């Protein structure tokens, strides 16, 4: 039994180890005593979290013990598991004890009993596909009914109910006795029982197994001997676990895989690892800058249903010369970090984009990595939602990086990596097929972020796992380039990420053609005219280019600047319908006769004045498309400067992404800062020094919740009261009016009249929760993200 006395007997080292393995116990509100710790250990959420941290052989041993009723002799458990090597079973049982899922009492001694905590037994549902144990199936039977079963089984158990029940259980655990009885049963019944034992199916049939109402059918004989039992509420017939195991025969064994899967690795030089990682990080920064620049130039098209569509993403991938995986990950990262806002009509950069663009490449990359670490979905996974709510993306990312980091060598096969990751935590990631695909997706994402290089963990990946300084590991990403090489073919080459001022100058005067390891811009008459239209003068532009050009200005670029400057502004436009004015009468006559401009309705008012019927904006656009270079003239005869304004949406960047792109975020609210978890050793020392029954002071909120709830323990009430008082998120298990259960993370909680009003992360809305329908309360563990869940272990 896991109680305060047992926990005190562990001592400081083992108690601290338990708290490290069950980290949910370290989060606020702080546990005040060993008695409260024992209560917290026994909550369903804490037990399920512990089971999800177990490796495959440990979980298999726990499931086998659960199939045998949760209270089993070690030798019996070993036989069911195929009599594995003692040290392998010892390791599994020791892990269960370290997690406080079984008591640490002579686990490896002959005759030791393995007793699972009750919630660990029920968490498996139907362990090994077996029915409920006989003790549970027959618990509500009267002594008279049990005597009928005993007589039909040809055993004697005396007159006391407990003795009769023990005799029945012993008889039905005896494989020889059970098989002898079944062999002697009617053929139809014998075949039925052996089929059920192999398939584990339930039988949807109605039959009375005793008394004067029994019917002659294949089930009657089995029901009269407790080989088939009916549930408490009259549901179909099922075979108790002990009977199933007896009929499956001595050759049947439960799965037990204590050997860790091998992962093929090859040697990798640290220099190559970090060089590859730095290149990937630099590429991601360039891609993010290019994507945001494109969205700034022309907002991206979004779907009515929300998000950016596949066609638009493919267009961006082609434009930026990257793969679809790279563009998909990039969109999720810049959206998660609030650099890109997605609305119902379009997607455009937020006001935080301008500040981000002025950072050095390392400072641009680090927040994108931190955003990925916290995203509540796997961007490159086909199944973006967490299936069944059985795992967290944070846990998966940690597990993937930890497995890669176990050795300094490189992994060559991501499928082998997935097998190893799932072996270490098979209950944490949902179905095996979905988990495998998501692990491989994490592998690719880590490579694109520079957390791995050449298939091995990078220094950045190790720092992220350890919670250290990521920026210090990315020296290879480099700093911003502040010079450009101008070439005779009218291109400008920047070997790296351009500094903001340099990028602004090149974007002003040229069009970007490439965003790879080196950025390439091309000058053209149209791009130079664009700069002049914005009010810049050629001498100033020439001086600015000369200041950043490593080899000076090529002659071809100088000629281009002078030629465009000579023609720029020769034609001047003013508003009448629209009026064109020029001292070059021959040019105006040419424009009037130009067939491409007929739609403007041009007519010559005077040798130096040409009128247009079209508005001035349409006229200017048409003239420029035809190769002329007009400018706008104001009423005072001065040139009007045309300024381009980049699209911006939204406010400052958020560093705590909790939603996928396209979702509406709730308004920010004021709440207390998250409380950092203390160390396990410090908590263990404090608890051992306190009285076993020490409790925190009773607050008015606690008292009100305690009065209004019949479902929760004192420890759960205290956690809920703390969340309300400190305005912190909390996780609840909730049963709705239809009887359906779900797991919710709620916050901004108000308690009124027996109900809670709170923001629900699952529904992304304010919801009401009846206090008596809340059946579990658990702290929200930092870094984890849980979703709607209907089953315990999936």
DSSP, residue by residue, 703-725:
HHHHHH-SS--HHHHHHHHHHHH
pLDDT at 384: 65
Instruction: Give the helix ranges, DSSP H, for 174-265.
Output: 175-184, 187-199, 220-224, 241-248
- pLDDT tens per residue, range 549-585: 988 899 999 999 999 988 888 887 766 778 888 888 8
pLDDT at 791: 34
* Band of residue 627 on the pLDDT scale cut at 50, 70, 90: confident
* Band of residue 368 on the pLDDT scale cut at 50, 70, 90: very high
* Mean pLDDT to the nearest integer, 237-244: 89
| Pairwise pLDDT comparison (785 vs 497), residue with the higher score | 497
Phi-psi label, residue 287: left if phi above 0, alpha if psi -120 to 50, beta otherwise: alpha
pLDDT at 112: 81
3-state secondary structure of 256: coil
b/e sequence 336-349, b meaning 16+ C-beta within 10 Å: bbbbbbbeeebbbb
Q: What are phi and psi of 230, to 5 degrees?
A: -105, 145
CB 24 within 8 A of CB 125: no
Task: Count CA within 13 A, CB hemisphere, residue 687.
Answer: 32
pTM of the complete model = 0.74
Average pLDDT, the chain: 84
* Mean pLDDT to the nearest integer, 591-613: 88
User: Any idea which of 119-128, 139-148, 378-387 has the lowest mean pLDDT?
Assistant: 378-387
CB 335 within 8 A of CB 661: yes
pLDDT at 444: 96
Q: What is d(CA 77, CA 132) in angstroms, rounded to the nearest whole number?
A: 17
CATH for the stretch 688-778: 2.30.30
User: Any idea which of 379-388, 553-562, 618-627, 744-753 has the lowest mean pLDDT?
Assistant: 379-388
Instruction: Enumerate the domain spans of the chain.
Output: 134-239, 265-477, 570-628, 688-778
* Band of residue 742 on the pLDDT scale cut at 50, 70, 90: confident
- pLDDT tens per residue, range 459-518: 999 999 988 888 888 876 767 778 889 999 999 998 877 877 788 888 889 988 876 667
- pLDDT tens per residue, range 685-705: 999 998 987 776 788 888 888
Phi-psi label, residue 146: left if phi above 0, alpha if psi -120 to 50, beta otherwise: alpha
pLDDT at 655: 41
Residue position matching structure tokens 């239209």: 533
Supply 165's token pair.
Answer: 């029940």
Q: What is d(CA 238, CA 149) in angstroms, rounded to the nearest whole number?
A: 16
Q: Say yes or no to pLDDT of 205 above 70.
A: no
Q: Say yes or no to pLDDT of 660 above 70.
A: no
* Mean pLDDT to the nearest integer, 429-435: 84
Report the 10 Å Cβ neighbour count for 123: 24
- pLDDT tens per residue, range 103-114: 866 565 666 888
Cα of 266 vs its chain's centroid, Å? 30
Q: Say yes or no to pLDDT of 85 above 70.
A: yes
Length of the chain: 794
Q: Which residues contact 572 (CB under 8 A, 6 or more apart)?
A: 580, 581, 582, 630, 631, 632, 633, 639
pLDDT at 726: 87
CB 295 within 8 A of CB 647: yes
- pLDDT tens per residue, range 701-737: 888 888 888 888 888 888 899 899 888 888 888 988 8
Report the 10 Å Cβ neighbour count for 45: 22
User: Any idea which of 163-172, 272-281, 467-476 has the lowest mean pLDDT?
Assistant: 467-476
Q: What is d(CA 440, CA 436) in angstroms, rounded to the nearest whole number?
A: 6
């Amino acid at each position: 039994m896991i109680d305060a006395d047992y926990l005190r007997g562990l001592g400081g080292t083992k108690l601290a180890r338990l708290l490290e393995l069950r980290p949910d116990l370290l989060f606020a509100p702080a546990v005040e005593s060993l008695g409260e710790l024992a209560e917290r250990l026994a909550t369903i959420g804490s037990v399920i979290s512990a089971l999800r941290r177990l490796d495959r052989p440990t979980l298999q041993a726990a499931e086998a013990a659960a199939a045998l009723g949760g209270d089993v002799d070690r030798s019996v458990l070993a036989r069911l598991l195929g009599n594995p090597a003692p040290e392998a079973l010892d390791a599994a049982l020791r892990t269960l004890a370290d997690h406080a899922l079984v008591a640490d009492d002579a686990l490896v001694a002959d005759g030791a009993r393995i007793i699972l905590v009750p919630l660990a037994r029920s968490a498996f549902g139907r362990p090994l596909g077996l029915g409920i144990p006989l003790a549970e199936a027959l618990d509500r039977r009267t002594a008279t009914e049990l005597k009928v079963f005993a007589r039909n089984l040809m055993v004697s158990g005396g007159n006391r109910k407990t003795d009769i029940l023990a005799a029945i259980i012993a008889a039905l655990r005896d494989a020889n006795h059970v098989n002898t009885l079944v062999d002697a049963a009617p053929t139809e019944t014998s075949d039925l029982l052996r089929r059920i034992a192999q398939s584990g199916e339930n039988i949807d049939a109605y039959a009375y197994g005793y008394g004067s109402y029994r019917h002659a059918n294949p089930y009657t004989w089995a029901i009269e001997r407790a080989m088939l039992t009916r549930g408490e509420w009259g549901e179909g017939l099922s075979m108790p676990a002990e009977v199933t195991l007896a009929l499956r025969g001595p050759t049947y064994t439960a799965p037990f895989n204590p050997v860790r899967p091998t992962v093929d690795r090859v040697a990798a030089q640290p220099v190559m690892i970090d060089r590859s990682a730095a290149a990937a990080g630099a590429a991601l920064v360039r891609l993010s800058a290019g994507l945001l620049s494109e969205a700034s130039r022309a907002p991206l098209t979004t779907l009515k249903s929300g998000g950016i569509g596949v066609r638009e993403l493919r267009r961006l991938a082609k434009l930026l010369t990257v793969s679809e995986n790279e563009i998909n990950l990039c969109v999720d990262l810049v959206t998660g970090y609030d650099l890109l806002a997605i609305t119902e009509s379009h997607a455009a950069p937020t006001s935080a984009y301008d500040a981000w663009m002025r950072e050095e490449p390392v400072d641009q990359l680090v927040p994108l990595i931190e955003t990925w670490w916290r995203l509540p979905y796997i961007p490159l996974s086909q199944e973006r939602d967490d299936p069944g709510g059985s795992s967290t993306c944070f846990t998966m990312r940690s597990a993937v990086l930890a497995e890669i980091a176990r050795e300094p060598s490189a992994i060559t096969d991501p499928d082998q990596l997935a097998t190893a990751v799932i072996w270490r935590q098979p209950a944490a990631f949902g179905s095996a097929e979905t988990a495998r695909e998501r692990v491989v997706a994490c592998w690719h994402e880590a490579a694109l972020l520079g957390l791995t290089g050449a298939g091995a963990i990078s220094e950045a990946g190790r720092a992220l796992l350890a919670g250290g300084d990521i920026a210090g590991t990315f020296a290879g990403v480099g700093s911003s380039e502040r010079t450009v090489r101008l070439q005779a073919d009218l291109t400008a080459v920047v070997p790296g990420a351009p500094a903001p001022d340099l990028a602004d100058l090149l974007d002003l005067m040229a069009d970007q053609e490439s965003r790879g390891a080196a950025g390439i811009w091309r000058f053209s008459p149209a791009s130079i005219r664009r700069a002049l239209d914005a009010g810049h003068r050629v001498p100033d532009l020439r001086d600015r280019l000369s200041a950043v050009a490593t080899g000076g200005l090529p002659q071809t670029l100088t000629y281009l600047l002078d030629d465009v400057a000579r023609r720029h502004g020769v034609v001047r436009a003013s508003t009448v319908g629209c009026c064109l004015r020029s001292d070059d009468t021959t040019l105006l006559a040419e424009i009037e006769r130009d067939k491409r401009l007929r739609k403007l309705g041009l007519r010559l008012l005077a040798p130096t004045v040409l009128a247009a019927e079209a508005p001035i904006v349409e006229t200017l656009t048409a003239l420029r498309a035809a190769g002329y270079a007009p400018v706008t003239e104001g009423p005072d005869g001065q040139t009007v400067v045309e300024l381009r304004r980049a699209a911006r949406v939204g406010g400052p960047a958020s560093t705590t992404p909790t939603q996928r792109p396209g979702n509406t975020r709730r308004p920010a609210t004021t709440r207390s800062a998250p409380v950092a978890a203390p160390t396990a050793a410090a908590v263990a020392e404090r608890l051992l020094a306190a009285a076993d029954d020490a409790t925190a002071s009773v607050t008015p909120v606690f008292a009100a919740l305690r009065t209004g709830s019949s479902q929760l323990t004192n420890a759960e009430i205290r956690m809920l009261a703390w969340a309300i008082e400190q305005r912190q998120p909390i996780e609840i298990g909730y049963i709705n009016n239809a009887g359906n259960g779900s797991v919710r993370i709620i916050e901004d909680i108000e308690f009124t009249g027996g109900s809670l009003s709170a923001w629900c992360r699952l529904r992304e809305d304010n919801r009401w929760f009846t206090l008596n329908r809340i059946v579990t309360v658990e702290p929200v563990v930092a870094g984890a993200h849980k979703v709607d869940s209907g089953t315990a272990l999936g």
